[in-house]
Chain A
Amino acid sequence: MTGRLSTLAAAFVIARRDFTAILFSRSFFFFLLGPLFPILVGGLAGGIGQEVKNNAARPELGVAMSAADAKALLAARQRLEPQLGSAIPELVVVKETRPGEAFDAAAAMQDRRVNLAAVVTGSLEKPLLSGPKERIAAWRGPVAVLAAEAQRAGGTDYPAVDLAPVKLATTADEARSRMVTAQLGQTVLFLLTMLLAGMVLSNLVEEKGNKIIEVLAAAIPMDAVFLGKLFAMLAVSFVGITVWAGVGGAVWLGAGGSLGQFPAPAVGWPLFFILGVAYFAMSYLLLGSLFLAIGSLAATVREVQTLSMPVTMLQLVNFFFASWAMARPGSAAELAAMIVPFSSPFAMLARAAQSEALLPHVLALAWQAVCVVVFVRVGATLFRRWVMKSGPAQSAGKGPWQRLGARLFSRRAVR
């Protein structure tokens, strides 16, 4: 015979099974690939957009001059480009004219085979710029500079100018920058939490379908089943995040990126990451335990969707509330966002980006941990009360909401 398992040991048995089962499943593979799809689609759309922008937004300046003038103008542009960059237009020689030959600039600009915004004719000494009024007004100066440079024929040496960037941020600038970091952190936290809470719910419904849940409930306390499932999914998510962060970080660093490009959070990057992981865990455990309680009400995946929709919406409201409160540091709204369990992780992560104080984080994490324990216990109790029943189906044919109502308002004599 064997020895009795403690609740934690029993939760470990469940977590170990779920963790390995999920890790080696196809769904985890797709879970890992999850962020790739928006990146791919975004990249593709961005690439196409850039191409279109390049083609449409960078019109060229046509040159219709004598061969010598046109050549000198092109050479001048080449010399000036390192100094002036996009301030000077792209040049396209549309025609090398003979002396005294007239050129129809309007006709050239209407030719759809080229993308001419204006045309310069005449000579280097007396250039004539033809085109829409705004365009020629904007290019008047650059054309004059190009013509002058062309006449000088490269005689001028431009001195190299050394650059010394200086960061001069005001307090307001710094606060605004940190707000960006806070907002980014909140959004990532919210998306990850919703993704995982949905997964843990599907996992539970699947087990109800497999009829395994009764075997589990008979062997170990339901609290242990819930805890095991929650922590297994949390561990899976950490694996996923590690892979995403590893690959994403490598690509980012490979592309010459660095964290310095983002506004640094008030507590510093290392602590911000640690707090991010802690708040992610708490946010997920809070929402996951709520979703597990919902799982106890639902008999099918469709019912899960029906019942979880309002909770998802409510979580969205919490997220917006925390985001809104973030912009009002020190206000009652921020305090409320930090206390309400479901918005607390978002609000606190935003605070980590904006304020150096650490004690509020210790208190918030302790408070959130207490809420997790309470939610898991309540969820487990509801599960045992509502799921493990047999005999005639009293509620058969009722929808999930009717069933919820019947269960909540029926008279019960509980020991």
Chain B
Amino acid sequence: MKLGEWQMAGNLGAADEAGAGRPLAIEAPLAIEARGLVKRFDGFTAVDGVDISVPEGAIYGILGPNGAGKTTTLRMLLGIIDPDEGVRRVLGHDRPHEISHAIGYLPEERGLYPAMKTYEAIGFLGALRGLPLAEGEKRGKELLEEHGLGYAIERQIRQLSKGMAQQVQLLGTLVHEPRLVVFDEPFSGLDALNQGRLEKMIREQAAKGTTVIFSTHVIAHAERLCDEVAIIAGGKVPFAGPVDVARDRIRPQVRLETRATEGAWRKALPADARHEGNFWLFSLPESGIEPLLRALIEGEAGILSLSIERAGLHDAFVAIAGEAAARALEEGNGEEAR
């Protein structure tokens, strides 16, 4: 299917299904659309049919365990490498380099020229994106001052700590005021203080209307920041959509405390119920909580406390990525058996 047909059809699989009810996903134009991206290296399939739709102005997380295919997906979206199969569209362009002046990218493996001064490095990164060098260096000095690094303006990159160099590269990623910013594992290597600063910076960018995409394997950042996420596991995307929808993928957890420990009411508990301390823990039954409550009351269980907790993104991620990994394993075994 070509990209145009796909847009006409309006069915984006998991992404659309999950995106229902999120005004941002439905109304906002897409900053990135990708369909069926495949990338193989030396016979190994690193990315296997990835679909992603990122609404403009969103903070979008790409979550996945190490080696899941996050970096390869981002590289294909940015045009650093071409997909073996599939189509991509970035800010309305089929060839990402055509719009690279509107994109900022911070790769996972940070790198700057060690002999450059900090403001020169920022200026150079801006120049790569079409900003005149002098203007970039001027803005670089301003950005360094704004972010409390004014004292390091004249320092060479080689004289900075790893965290500081990372901050300088981050400023270089933003110096040309891009419409789309892509960060690959931006939080790795940062201390808690700088992680907080980065989260703040990401929110500021989004508030200005910039689309922010970042990959991470630390779910807490995505949960705090993201409007939508794509979960990648084994080169596939088993889920893409709003964070709330991801959480709803796994049933809320029920925590029940009863006076009685034995009785006929025990038969009403779901099969996955387990007893930990004084509590019974189990997933909310599909039939809802009312039939269970009725059975507990009629069976004189003596309810002391009962709470229903919504699943966190971390639980959802483990469940979704785990399922996908298990499915991939099964598929692999099946092929082997054939």
A391 near B67 (CB under 8 angstroms)?
yes
Q: Which residues of chain A from 401 to 415 have any CB-CB distance to chain B below 8 Å in the complex?
A: 406-407, 410-415
Nearest CB of chain B from residue A143's CB, rounded to whole Å: 72
Asked if B124 contacts A210 (CB within 8 A), the reply is: no
Contact with A along B59-81 (1 / 0, CB 8 A): 00000000101011001001111
The answer to whether A391 and B44 touch (CB under 8 A), given A4-B101, A211-B109, is yes
Across the interface, which residues of B come within 8 angstroms of A415, CB to CB? 82-85
Tell whether B43 is near chain A: CB-to-CB under 8 Å: yes
Tell me which residues across on chain A come within 8 A of B81, comparing CB atoms: 384-385, 388-389
Q: Is the interface of A mostly helix, strand, loop or mixed?
A: loop
**B84 contacts A391, CB within 8 Å?**
no
Given contacts A210-B111, A215-B105, A218-B105, contact A414 B84 (CB under 8 A): yes
- Interchain CB contact under 8 A, B72 and A210: no
Whether B179 is near chain A, meaning CB under 8 Å from some CB there, is yes
Interface centre among B82, B114, B127, B176 (most CB of A within 10 A): B127
* Interface locus among B128-136, B218-226, B275-283: B128-136
Residues of chain B contacted by A3 (CB below 8 angstroms): 101, 130
> Is A110's beta carbon under 8 Å from chain B?
no
Most buried by B among A4, A219, A385, A410: A219
How many whole Å from A408's CB to the nearest CB in chain B?
A: 11
Q: Report A393 CB to chain B, min CB distance, Å.
A: 10
* Distance from A302 Cβ to chain B, minimum over Cβ atoms (Å): 21
Report how far A213 CA is from B112 CA in the complex, Å.
9
With A384-B80, A391-B72 as contacts: A215 and B128 at CB distance below 8 Å: yes
Answer whether residue A170 sits at the interface, using C-beta atoms and an 8 A cutoff: no
Q: Does chain A have a CB within 8 A of B284?
A: no
CA distance A389 to B47 in the complex (A): 11
Q: Which residue of B lies closest to A403 (CB)?
A: B42
**Cβ-closest chain A residue relative to B82:** A415
0 or 1 for each of B118-162: is its CB under 8 Å from A? (1 = yes) = 000000111111110100000000000000000000000000000
- Give Cα distance in the complex from A9 to B103, angstroms: 18
Residue A80 is within 8 A (CB to CB) of chain B in the complex: no
Q: Any chain B CB within 8 A of the CB of A242?
A: no
Q: Are B80 and A2 in contact (CB under 8 A)?
A: no
CB neighbours (8 Å) of A212 from chain B are: 111-113
Binds A, one of B11-19, B92-100, B303-311, B320-328: B92-100
Beta-carbon nearest neighbor of B175 in chain A: A2
Specify the chain A residue showing the minimal Cβ separation from B99: A4
Smallest CB–CB gap between B328 and chain A, Å? 14
Q: Are B101 and A412 in contact (CB under 8 A)?
A: no
Please report the C-alpha to C-alpha distance between residue A5 and residue B103 in the assembled complex, in whole angstroms.
13
Q: Mark A1-28, 1 if CB is under 8 A from B, else 0.
A: 1111100011001001100010001000
Check A145 for interface membership: any CB of B closer than 8 A.
Answer: no
Residue in chain A with minimal CB distance to B110 = A211
Q: Which of A10, A218, A406 has the most CB of B within 10 A?
A: A218
Give the residue of A211, A214, A217, A407 whose beta carbon is less than 8 angstroms from that of B42. Answer: A407
Contacts of B128 in A (CB 8 A): 5, 10, 13, 215-216, 219-220
Q: List chain A residues, Cβ under 8 A from B116.
A: 21
Give A364-415 interface residues, CB cut-off 8 Å to B: 384-385, 388-392, 394-395, 406-407, 410-415
CA distance A132 to B44 in the complex (A): 85
Chain B residues whose C-beta falls within 8 Å of the C-beta of A395 in the assembled complex: 42
Are B130 and A211 interface neighbours, CB within 8 A?
A: no
A385 to B169, CA, bound (A): 25
B75, B97, B100: the one contacting A390 at CB < 8 Å is: B75
Bound form: Cα–Cα A394–B40 in Å:
11
A392 CA to B42 CA, complexed, in Å? 11
Contacts of A385 in B (CB 8 A): 81
Q: Write out the residue numbers on chain B whose beta carbons fall within 8 Å of the beta carbon of A213.
A: 111
Residue of B nearest to A395 (CB): B42
A215 touches B100 (CB 8 A): no
Contacts of B124 in A (CB 8 A): 13, 17
Q: Report yes or no: A215 in contact with B111, Cβ–Cβ below 8 A.
A: yes
Q: A1-B176, A391-B67 are in contact. Are A220 and B40 (CB under 8 A)?
A: no
Chain B positions within 8 Å of A, measured between CB atoms, are 38, 40-44, 46, 67, 69, 71-72, 75, 78-85, 97-103, 105, 107-116, 124-131, 133, 169, 176-179
- Lowest 7 CB-CB distances: which A-B pairs, in order? A211-B111, A2-B130, A219-B128, A212-B111, A211-B109, A394-B42, A390-B71
Residues of A that sit less than 8 Å from B by CB: 1-5, 9-10, 13, 16-17, 21, 25, 210-221, 384-385, 388-392, 394-395, 406-407, 410-415
15 more A-B contacts (CB under 8 A) besides A5-B130, A214-B107? A1-B176, A2-B129, A2-B130, A13-B127, A21-B116, A211-B110, A212-B111, A212-B113, A215-B111, A218-B80, A218-B103, A384-B80, A392-B44, A407-B42, A415-B85
